[in-house]
Structure 1
Amino acid sequence: MKTELGKGMLEQVQGICSALPEVDQIVDGFGHDVMKVRGKTFIMMGEGHNSALPSLSIKATKEQQYLLLEQGGYVKTPYIGHHGWVSVDMEAGPNWDELNVLIQEAYLLAAPKRLVKQVLDSVAK
């Protein structure tokens, strides 16, 4: 991320992901900052492709995607939206309280059962 807005968004996402076990951050071949758990992507961030604003895309179920699109503030992610992915409508601006929950849910969708159990057990305590 190069812009101040992009760097701030990346820092917010890193802060949320720091509480989750075995998250790796990589830069993919397209220049996106990607959060993965055990090789499975659950967050993608980028900037400068079709907009001056950065993008934040989140893995979701198709049911979650439908609800998020209906409520507003999210759009179907280009190219992978048919798999349930949503992107934050950056014109509306990110709601970090909501994104904190959505990022954790995205992690649980991608993580192996052992890590899901570990996270859920720590929340239950």
Structure 2
Amino acid sequence: MFVASLAKLRQLCLALPETTEVGVGDDPTFGVKGQTFATCHRVGDRESVWFKASPRTRSRLLSNGDDRRFFTPPYVGQHGWIGAWIDENCDWSQLDALLRESYQMTAPDAQGDNASRRENATTLIARAS
């Protein structure tokens, strides 16, 4: 299962301009301009991706205790990162929007008008929730 999920995750992240993948095997890290915006981790026997999120997004995704797709990851969670399980319950459209938001927070000058892009990502995230 994870091989297919990792391939899909790579497709989403590497579609973003100037994104690079660092690391080998099952724990790649994706960055732009030398800054990380997403990283894969195995937590127990489950695979996850950790990424930056705005306070509004974090609040919305983590406040719903019934939604077990998202969690506060150790170490980086206190710095505004969020984790998502990448398994059969993964909503890839929603994860794409979340990864784009993380990318935009990491490289605000990577692409033109980021305010409207951030607004579009927030709209997609809200619709998928």
Tell me the TM-score range normalised by the shorter chain.
0.7 to 0.9
Q: Tell me the amino acid that sits aligned with residue 38 of structure 1.
A: K
Q: Is the 8 Å Cα contact of residues 34 and 44 (structure 1) preserved in structure 2?
A: yes
Q: Is the 8 Å Cα contact of residues 40 and 110 (structure 1) preserved in structure 2?
A: yes
Query: Offset of 1:93 from its aligned partner?
Result: 2.5
Instruction: Choose 98-107 or 83-92, whichever is displaced more.
Output: 83-92
Which residue in 1 is equivalent to 2:28?
33
TM-score, normalised via structure 1 length: 0.77
Question: Which stretches of structure 1, 4 residues or more, deviate above 2 A after TM superposition?
Answer: 89-93
Task: Calculate percent identity across the aligned residue pairs.
Answer: 25
Number of residue pairs matched by the alignment: 112
Q: Is the 8 Å Cα contact of residues 46 and 85 (structure 2) preserved in structure 1?
A: no
- Runs of 5+ consecutive residues of structure 2 not aligned to the other structure: 121-129
Residues 1:59 and 2:55 are matched in the alignment: no
Per-residue CA deviations over 1:55-102 (Å, capped at 9, x if unaligned) read 211211222111111232211111110111111145783111100111
Distance in 1, matches of 2:87 and 2:31, equals: 26
Output the aligned Cα RMSD. 2.4
Per-residue CA deviations over 1:24-80 (Å, capped at 9, x if unaligned) read 00018xx73100000111111022xx4111121121122211111123221111111
C-alpha change, 1:96 and 1:106, in structure 2 (3 Å) is same
Distance in 1, matches of 2:12 and 2:86, equals: 19
Which residue in 2 is equivalent to 1:8?
4
